[in-house]
Structure 1
């Protein structure tokens, strides 16, 4: 599980749902779609220290322009290491907000010609981002 820390920057709610913007290190922002509002979840307030969590399998890797994608959470980084398996490849990625891990198909790793040192963009859909308040 990828874990990053930051603080809540903004909350936009409608009905019983909210989009929460989290400010991470390195001027990186992420968004999380949560089925809660500030009225139903007391931790949802601007400035609250928060942990951002998302699975390695929910991390999408891009190598070139991706302006046509509807994924808000995009983090630029460099591949530190690739462990290729028969089915899956594990990428260790260094970013300005912390190190991440992505599990992608080994076929995709070959098709994208991924190599250590390569600059990539890690992307995560907002509904895959879990928030946990820091104690």
Structure 2
């Protein structure tokens, strides 16, 4: 994950709160909305700082982030599919790495992986083939 992304989220949260205070004119609803938006961005930034590594690979499988900052190890036998979902939107194509573990589906974007999802999927498939051999 780019190092500046959590900082940008913190700055955006502070700006939202400052703008909310500036334009609220004593209106408690506007203050509350600005506070909630700032708190949401703060929580999102804290998640990036507390658990920056979202996916790790070893010989026995992958470890994914579960919840806010927990971890869950998925052995290769539990992983049913590793795919990349590509969707065009607003003139851009987004890619999402999908790890299907039967009862759970784990999704990772480029910023979660700090690499293109297609490259990570290729690496995961190669590691899975090597573990099966």
**What TM-score, normalized by structure 2, do the two folds share?**
0.28
Select the structure that is richer in helix.
2
Higher relative contact order (CA 8 A, sep 6+): 1
Tell me which structure has the larger Cα radius of gyration.
Answer: 2
**What TM-score, normalized by structure 1, do the two folds share?**
0.28
Select the structure that is richer in strand.
1
